[in-house]
């Protein structure tokens, strides 16, 4: 099992540019989560999907952020336009449906730096 795969591992971009982060969940996992990690705010849940449908996007900071899950094996998180305060590590996690009770598997994260 390859685990949750995120790409890229590192991204450096200029303010105002569009950034797309990618995630491939574990095959058979029905739930997918996007988290953002910063020193100031810790881990924040941005959005999560069940069976490719967004369930809760209340954590998405503003309209510049959008997430999609076109199929069970792929999800994207897009920031357009990016700002320096978006600099953080973004994690994707997946779990079998109804397994919030510890069934999460995290990817290694994407470290985003907006200059």
Partner 1 sequence: GDSVTQMEGPVTLSEEAFLTINCTYTATGYPSLFWYVQYPGEGLQLLLKATKADDKGSNKGFEATYRKETTSFHLEKGSVQVSDSAVYFCALSPNDKIIFGKGTRLHILP
Residues of this chain that interact with partner 1 (CB under 8 A) are 4, 31, 33, 41-43, 45, 48, 50, 55-56, 91, 93, 95, 97-98, 100-102, 104, 106-109
Q: How far is the CB of 113 from partner 1 (least distance, A)?
A: 15
Q: How far is the CB of 28 from partner 1 (least distance, A)?
A: 16
For partner 1, which is the closer residue by CB, 88 or 107? 107
Q: How far is the CB of 46 from partner 1 (least distance, A)?
A: 11
Pairing relationship of beta strands 110-114 and 10-13 according to DSSP bridges: parallel
With contact defined as beta carbons under 8 Å apart, do 48 and 67 qualify? Answer: no
* Phi, psi at 44, each rounded to 5°: -120, 130
**Residue 18 neighbours by CB under 8 Å, 6+ apart:** 78, 79, 80, 81, 82
């Amino acid at each position: 099992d390859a685990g949750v795969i995120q790409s890229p591992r590192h991204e450096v971009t200029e303010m105002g540019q569009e950034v797309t982060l990618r995630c491939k969940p574990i095959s058979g996992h029905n739930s997918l989560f996007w988290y953002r990690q910063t020193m100031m705010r810790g881990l924040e849940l941005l959005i999560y999907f069940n069976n490719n449908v967004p369930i809760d996007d209340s954590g998405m900071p503003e309209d510049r952020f959008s997430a999609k899950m076109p199929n069970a094996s792929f999800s994207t998180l897009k920031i357009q336009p990016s700002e320096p305060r978006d600099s953080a590590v973004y994690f994707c996690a997946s779990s079998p449906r109804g397994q919030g009770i510890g069934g999460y598997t995290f990817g290694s994260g994407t470290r985003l730096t907006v200059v």
